[in-house]
Amino acid sequence: MEKFKELSEEKKLPIIEAALKCFGKHGYKKASMGDIAQNSGVSKPMLFHYFGTKRDLYLYLSEYVRSVMIEAYKRNEINAYDDLFERIIVASRMKMGILEKHPHILKFIISMFEETDDAVIDITKKIMPEAQRFSYDLVLRKEDVIKFKESVDIDVVMRMMFLMAEGYAHEMTDERCDLGKITEELEKTIHMLKSNLYKEEYL
C-alpha cells in the first residue's frame, strides 16, 4: 500500500473513485478487482501490487472516506453556535455538501451500513460506531443537557438524529432526488424536535 500512497493525487484519484463506485454498487463480495482495474485505467496485477488484497483495498477506502468526511466539517463554524440543534443543522449542511460533491463516497458509506460479508464485517463494525461517536462529539456539549425537558434522554435523541441523518443521506443516492427539498425537510424536522424537546424557557 505504501507504493500507492507514493503516487500523485492525480494518479490515485481514478483508482479510488473506481473502487468506491464498485464497492458501493455491488458490495464487498460481488465487487471485482478486475472491474475496478478496468474502470480506473490500471492493470489488475498493478492493483494487487498496490493493495495486496481486495480486503486491504476495502480497508484503505474505509479510512479514506473517514478522513474526507472529518475534513469536511469546519469546527470553528459549528462551534460558533450556542444551540445544539443549530450546530446539528450547520454540520448537516456541511455533510450534505461533501456527499453531493462526492456521490461515490455516499454510496460506499451506505453499502458499509448494509455489508454482511464476514471478510470485512470487522471493518464496518469498527468504523460505524466511530462515525456515530464522532458525530456526537462534533455537536454535543455538556451545557446542552440542561435545555431538555426532564423526561428526555439526550443519548436517545442523539442516536435518533444520527439515524435520521443517515436516512436522508440514503435518499440522496437516488439521482432523481431534490437535494434542496431533502435539506429543507431535514432542517424542518430538526426545528420540530427542538420545539418539542426543549424546556419552554430555551425556545
Residues 6 or more apart whose CB falls under 8 angstroms from that of 118 comprise: none
Rounded CA-CA distance 31/19 in Å is: 9
Question: How would you write the pLDDT of the chain (203 residues) with one tens digit per residue?
Answer: 788 999 999 999 999 999 999 999 999 999 999 999 999 999 999 999 999 999 999 999 999 999 998 988 999 999 999 999 999 999 988 988 888 888 899 889 989 988 999 999 999 988 878 888 898 999 999 999 999 999 999 999 998 888 888 788 777 777 677 778 888 898 999 999 999 999 999 99
Cα 162 to its chain centre, rounded Å, is 11
pLDDT attached to residue 55: 97
Rounded CA-CA distance 38/43 in Å is: 7
Yes or no: say if 91 and 73 are a contact pair by the CB < 8 Å rule.
yes
| Matching residue, cell 474502470 | 39
Q: 3-class SS at 85?
A: helix
Q: Which triple of cell numbers denotes residue 78?
A: 459549528
Q: Which triple of cell numbers denotes residue 166?
A: 443517515
pLDDT digits (tens, 9 = 90+) for 42-64: 999 999 999 999 999 999 999 99
- Return the number of other C-beta atoms located less than 10 Å from residue 63's C-beta: 12
Yes or no: say if 117 and 29 are a contact pair by the CB < 8 Å rule.
yes
Rounded CA-CA distance 23/30 in Å is: 8
Q: What is the DSSP letter of 119?
A: T
pLDDT digits (tens, 9 = 90+) for 150-176: 999 999 999 888 888 878 877 777 767
Rounded CA-CA distance 109/116 in Å is: 14
Rounded CA-CA distance 193/85 in Å is: 9
